[in-house]
A and B are shown apart, each in its own frame.
Chain A
Amino acid sequence: MNQRSPIAVYQEPQLGRSSLVLGWSEDAGDLGRKVTDYLNLKLKGQEFAGIEPEDFFPMSGVAIKDNIARFPESKFYACPERELVIFQTDSPLAEWYKFLNSVLDVAERHCRVRELYVLGAMITFSAHTTPRQLLGVVNSTGMKEILSQYDLNRDMDYQTQPGERPTLNSFLLWLARERNIPGVSVWVPIPFYLAAMEDVQAQKKVLSFLNERLDLKIDFGDLDQEIRRQNEQLALARSRSPQIDDYINRLESNIMLSQEENGELIKKIEEFLGEGD
């Protein structure tokens, strides 16, 4: 059996007791990538390690997205001033146990991580104007207690439904618990018609929580501006298209749309926001 480690550390980060924030690159609303990109930008994250892709992704070619060839990436960034580690990664397609343990190996051995924050986006059939409520799933009662002072619903009951599988977030939290690393999976709802684009409001909701919990001292002025811009675009779409307005009105009144109408709304919003770019 091949025992080669997939971890590549380029430079030892200078960290005390840090926290790790993990974002998946291909989340709904591009949440994981956007949030981790934003943190890296604001906190000047320095790449210090990565996980080699060959064991975890089919090396059968490259995917093309937005005209550009993509290759699976799993990168760690350090922000020593805030005792923060950021891990941005594509979701592995094989050898999940090995991949997630590699993440935790870097966290433990190189970053002395004391807490883990895993980001997740969940698609909701609510309107974008509905206030977003963060949902937290923790791997220890201690972590639940710690998070009690934050705006995070921590009382969810859930079990896997037939035909479904647990998320990678749950798998990672479970493995972290085996190592006595407290962790939370932070879920934010993304309206279905923004899932294929980005949802700045959802990003800010998650970032605000992290900002407060990890004392990151980030000023969100630029993000607020982005939210205003996206809301204005959506308002414009509603004013120009009675159909979009009708669909969103109904969602705001908690009336479910049919599958066909859902598809229609997605298409129209994508067309409209696409034109605005």
Chain B
Amino acid sequence: MGIRLYQEPQLENPILVASWPGIGNIGIIAVDTLREILEAEEFGEIEPWEFFYPKRVLIRKGVLEYLEFPGSKFYFKRIRGRDMIFFIGEEQPTEGGRMYAEGRDAYRMAGLVLDVAERFKCRRVYTSGAAVALIHHTARPRVWAVPNAGNLISEIKAYQNAVLMSDIEGRGGHGNITGLNGLLLGVAKRRGFEAICLMGEIPVYLQGLPLSYPKASKSVLEVLSHSLGIEVSLDKLDELDQKVERTIEEFYQQIPLEIRGQLDKLKHVAYAQPVEPGPITEEEERKIVEDVEKFFKKRGEGG
């Protein structure tokens, strides 16, 4: 088991951008969109069998023809002396039915991704995921940026629409990044890579829905492309966002009026001025979270 490279591209000073699915598929949509726009070429994969249960079987005329596993693939793109490696994991290796990777398999997967990065003398890694936040779906999501070393903080401060954990209300600079999008950051630190995780905000009331949230993917891609010094068209994400927005709006209208009234207050949250009294109190914040949790619990019980 391990890495299978189909070719050994000559890369100069490459940067690795990696992502796996997570809440709202925010990170993976951002990274995969960039990979598509840049027309990055597939050059390898992590052999899936030990990590994943197969996802598809094809039986034709009684003969098992094909068993397909979730992909974990590497792509490369040469860009003016700052080449790129993409890693796209179709699933996170989970144990015991958990949603996110953890434990031995997750650690092994992170190690294999970084083995490829090391082989091509890459020193900078980006990962991407979701940040569940008390925001409204009509708001522009911010990007929470978490570096694995202090010397990256000044760089992050220069990103537009990105915040450090210490900038986030009530966080005090602390938090967790669940799953491989976070774990890779830690393993990278241990192995001497500098790494940044970019997390697009998703409204707290959308986190449990089986929906993508391309609006946040767009925010992530804006920050990522700025950090990489490349210009990309965001038209595709805009288009996707418009489609999803309609579904979200339909869902939103189904939320009971009392809870929706609370959620509507989030439209007026002014993150830019956290020191001034905002239009939403801490007590109201707590109530929104409680109401949303109750609403989803009730929906779940109702089948």
> Which single member of A94, A141, A158, A171 contacts B54 (CB below 8 Å)?
A171
- Pairwise interchain contact B53-A157, C-beta atoms closer than 8 A: no
**Chain B residues numbered 208-261 whose CB sits less than 8 Å from any CB in chain A:** none
Known: A166-B54, A170-B67. A1 touches B108 (CB 8 A): yes
**B64 pairs with A174, CB closer than 8 A:** yes
Report which of B50, B67, B104, B108 forms a contact with A166, defined as CB distance below 8 A. Answer: B67
| B63 contacts across to A, CB distance below 8 A | 137-141, 144
Given A1-B108, A157-B59, A165 contacting B54 (CB threshold 8 A)? yes
Verify if A114 is at the interface (C-beta below 8 Å from B).
no
Neighbour of B62 across the interface among A144, A160, A171, CB < 8 A: A144
- How many Å lie between the Cα of A171 and that of B67 in the bound state? 7
Of residues 47 to 78 in B, which have CB atoms within 8 Å of A's CB atoms? 49-50, 53-64, 67
Given A171-B54, A174-B64, CB of A137 within 8 Å of CB of B95 = no
Query: A166 to B65, alpha carbons, bound, how many Å?
Result: 13
CB-defined contacts of B53 to chain A, threshold 8 Å: 96, 165-166, 171
CB of B96 closer than 8 Å to a CB of A: yes
Contacts of A129-181 to chain B: CB distance below 8 A: 136-141, 144, 153-160, 165-167, 170-171, 173-174, 177
Q: Is B62 a contact of A98 with CB atoms below 8 Å?
A: no
Using known A-B contacts A94-B96, A136-B62, A144-B63, determine if residue A159 contacts B56 with beta carbons closer than 8 Å: yes
Q: Which residue of A lies closest to B97 (CB)?
A: A93
Per the bound structure, the CA–CA distance linking A158 and B57 in Å amounts to: 8
Candidates A94, A98, A154, A174; contact of B67 at CB < 8 Å = A174
**Total inter-chain residue pairs, C-beta < 8 Å:** 73
Interface residues of B in 87-124 (CB under 8 A from A): 95-97, 104, 108
B96 contacts A93, CB within 8 Å? yes
Q: How far is the CA of A213 from the CA of B96 in the complex (A)?
A: 38
Let me know if A173 and B54 touch, CB within 8 A. Answer: no
The interface on chain A, measured as residues whose beta carbon lies within 8 A of the other chain's beta carbons, has a size of 32
A159 contacts B62, C-beta separation under 8 Å: no
Interface string of A77-95 (1 = CB under 8 A from B): 0000000000000000111
Q: List chain A residues, Cβ under 8 A from B108.
A: 1
A161 and chain B: residue at smallest CB distance: B56
Within 8 A of B (CB), among A158-216: 158-160, 165-167, 170-171, 173-174, 177, 185
Chain B interface residue number, banded? 20 to 34
**A156 adjacent to B59 (CB under 8 Å):** yes
Q: Which residues of A contact B50 (CB under 8 A)?
A: 95, 97-98
- Cα A133 to Cα B62 in complex, Å, equals 14
Q: How far is the CA of A154 from the CA of B189 in the complex (A)?
A: 54
The answer to whether B58 and A177 touch across the interface, beta carbons within 8 angstroms, is no
Q: Is the CB of A166 within 8 A of B62?
A: no
Once A93-B96, A160-B57 are accepted as A-B contacts, the answer to whether A170 and B62 lie under 8 Å apart by CB is: no
In contact, B62 and A153 (Cβ under 8 angstroms) = yes
Min CB distance A266 to B, Å, is: 19
Contact check, B60 vs A157: say whether CB atoms are below 8 A apart.
yes
Q: How far is the CA of A98 from the CA of B108 in the complex (A)?
A: 15
Q: Are B57 and A159 in contact (CB under 8 A)?
A: yes
Q: Which A residues from 81 to 131 make CB contacts under 8 A with B? A: 93-98
A58 within 8 A of partner (CB): yes
Please judge, given known A-B contacts A58-B96, A96-B53, whether A173 and B64 are in contact too, CB under 8 Å.
Answer: yes
A residues 1-30 near B (Cβ < 8 Å) are 1
Residue of A nearest to B104 (CB): A1
* 22 residue pairs from A and B, CB less than 8 Å apart: A1-B108, A93-B96, A93-B97, A94-B95, A97-B49, A98-B50, A138-B64, A139-B63, A140-B63, A154-B62, A156-B61, A156-B62, A159-B56, A159-B59, A165-B54, A165-B55, A166-B55, A166-B56, A170-B54, A170-B59, A174-B67, A177-B64
